[in-house]
Structure 1
Amino acid sequence: MPPSQTLLRTTAILLLSLLFATAVDADPQRQRIEVRSTWLTEMSGVAASQIHANHYWAHNDSGDRGRLFSFDNKGNMLTELRIDGSSAFDWEDMTSFKDSSGAYLLIGDIGDNMMLRPFADVYLVKEPRDVSKAITHAKVGRHYSLIYEDGPHDAEAIAVDVAERFVYILTKRDTHPRLYRFSLDAIADKAIPLNYLGEIRSIPSVEKHKAQRQGGISGGSPTAMEFNADGDMAMIVTLRNTYYFKREKNQSWLQALNKTPFARTPNRLRQVESGTFTKDGKQVLIGSEGRPAVLEFVDIPAQSKEKEK
């Protein structure tokens, strides 16, 4: 083969190799697990344990009692945690956090498909250290009874910023998702007015965001939300995709979530309604309703990649 043809062939092989490497890199690594439980069938919320490595907590959608299920990163069930003193009208999302007083689980009874509930409820529970028994119990540490001052809303997404001491709720069935918050340290035993912050108009991007029908849902309706432990990244889960947002220093979450996501990953499960960051912050865990409960660990895309348009 003439030298010029050899050079052309070598160049072509190198270019194809680079293209293949880029394609692989653009589709983050995934690991799928199934949770072996006859009770966790309509998983609607998931959160990483703040105490036990590679352990997770999850709950069902409406129709179940007030309880959580713990499992490991292989899908093995660990314990059923019954939350004494709670009710479960429509549990839709949960999160976990750790502060100077301990590790906590925060559960959002915030679903309201018909948008009729006068109150939404959030429960704060100390995370148990013992997950060796088939069934364990925990008492509600705080019950937050929340009021939307502009009337009822349906929501499936809740996240906590520990440094701020604020809990954020993102609605689902509004024309544009609406962001609210309340304080973790709100006065006990009193109804808490939610602080409305503004609309989120960045899914799938600022340029392509569209209003949806009021009271309806779309492929871009939020079904879960989470902030990472460092407070500089957020994820919003929808039925179609998981979106990633970077938060800059001195930037509010409303500002951060109204930027075009720096990346998104397609959700490949049947009905994705839950998601959380892993404790090391390198992956997210996305969960779907169904029997068995199926989840995927997905690598977080690099922030240097070109933004989705």
Structure 2
Amino acid sequence: MGDVVFRASGAVVAAACLLLAVPAQAMADDGEDQVFTFKDPRITESSGLAVSPTHDGVYYTHNDSSAAPTFYAVDGKGRTKATFRVRGAQARDWEAMAATKDPATGRGVLWFADIGDNLDGAWPDVSVYRVMEPQTLKDATLPATRYRFRYADGGRNAEGIMVNPRTGRLYVVSKEFSGSVYAAPKKLRTDKTNILRKVASAPLMATDAAYAPDGSSYVIRTYFSATLYRPSGETIAKVSMPELKQAESIAYTADGKALLTGTEGSRSPVYRVPLPAGATPTPSTSAKTSIPATPAAADTGQARAAEGGFTAKNILIWLAAAATALGTITFIARRTR
């Protein structure tokens, strides 16, 4: 029972962070702009967001847990252009997606992450599905390649994935009080479980992540804000986000000059937030300027993430959430004596 209470309290703390984080998002950039709202009544828990790498003005999204393995292509006004089902895929808890371009063929590639685990280790492994972007935007069922993953340091909850467009390496970002960036192997295998290894730290309760289209930076979204990083893991800047019901998704615009962020709920909005001046580093011609895919990077990443991941306000919110969780644990303990 103690273990059950402990795990339940983790969900309570996360919920408390969600409720308390809303005021922290109110100080958004003056340049924020609502791009559209999802018009489709089937899109009720938009959890992943990506810009099409080959279709101009097209965006992709999918619902959260308890949904079919389905994703939607929408236009710049939030209207659904096509609905796609992923053949043979499971949807235990789809939490994120990414979009890249195959350097060999120029075709778009979509990645869907079934990585949510609210019990922090309930699943023996998690999965990411690779789907070739449809060339025609009309309803269809698409084949997928499934890659299974296991964390080298034990199971955990995660809500963010990103793919470096320069190297093709996939990263998973965990959603924890002390989150981490995990690197997948350079070459993914379908015949065995791929091991995810910690390479850097992530901010408090990360809900999504994305790489810039040119690979010059990446962003990690939290309930509080978003933080930009150089591919090395060095913090660039912190970006205020618009006030949202539940901050869930983030992506770069096609030109890499702004961020797109969304939330869950029926007819949920998607906002565009310009990057702060000088936030995007000068692109490098070297593909090696990426998060080091070795555990040694975790030590330096810890300090870098801490630099841009916490503020006094975040710490106060964290303390308030912890107090709420403690009270809940005490209540549950008394009820289960």
Q: What TM-score bracket applies, with the shorter chain setting the length?
A: 0.7 to 0.9
Displacement of 1:276 after TM fit? 0.6
Q: Is the 8 A contact 2:185 2:196 kept in 1?
A: no
1:138 aligns with 2:122: no
Residue correspondences, number: 253
Runs of 4+ in 1 over 6 A off after TM superposition: none
Q: Which letter does structure 1 place at the counterpart of 2:72?
A: F
Q: Which position in structure 1 is the counterpart of 2:118?
A: 113
1:56 aligns with 2:59: yes
| 1:1-309 matches, cutoff 5 A | 27-98=30-101, 99-101=103-105, 102-115=107-120, 116-131=122-137, 133=138, 135-140=139-144, 142-173=145-176, 175-183=177-185, 185-200=187-202, 203=203, 220-247=204-231, 252=232, 255-256=233-234, 259=235, 261-303=236-278
Provide structure 1 residue ranges, at least 5 long, that are not aligned to the other structure. Answer: 1-24, 204-219
Question: Helix, strand or coil: the match of 2:47?
Answer: strand
Provide structure 2 residue ranges, at least 5 long, that are not aligned to the other structure. Answer: 1-27, 281-306, 312-337
Displacement of 1:26 after TM fit? 5.5
Whole-angstrom CA distance in 1 between matches of 2:29 and 2:44: 31
Any idea what the Cα deviations from partners look like across 1:172-196, whole Å, max 9, x if unmatched?
02x4111111136323221111122
Question: Helix, strand or coil: the match of 1:262?
Answer: strand
Q: Which letter does structure 2 place at the counterpart of 1:186?
A: L
Could you tell me the TM-score, scaled by structure 2's length? 0.71
Q: Which moved more, 1:232-241 or 1:113-122?
A: 232-241
Identical columns (%): 29
Could you tell me the TM-score, scaled by structure 1's length? 0.77
Bigger RCO of structures 1 and 2 (CA < 8 A, at least 6 apart): 2
Any idea what the Cα deviations from partners look like across 1:12-34, whole Å, max 9, x if unmatched?
xxxxxxxxxxxxx9622312411
Displacement of 1:151 after TM fit? 1.4
Displacement of 1:236 after TM fit? 1.1
Q: Which position in structure 1 is the counterpart of 2:316?
A: none
Q: Is the 8 A contact 2:153 2:197 kept in 1?
A: no
Whole-angstrom CA distance in 1 between matches of 2:279 and 2:98: 27
Displacement of 1:54 after TM fit? 1.1
Computing the radius of gyration from Cα coordinates, the structure with the larger value is 1
Whole-angstrom CA distance in 1 between matches of 2:228 and 2:201: 17
Whichever structure has more strand as a proportion of its residues is: 1
Whichever structure has more helix as a proportion of its residues is: 2
Displacement of 1:268 after TM fit? 1.4
| Cα distance change, pair 130–184 in 1 and its aligned pair in 2 (3 A) | farther
Displacement of 1:165 after TM fit? 2.3
Any idea what the Cα deviations from partners look like across 1:142-184, whole Å, max 9, x if unmatched?
21100112211100010001322210111002x4111111136
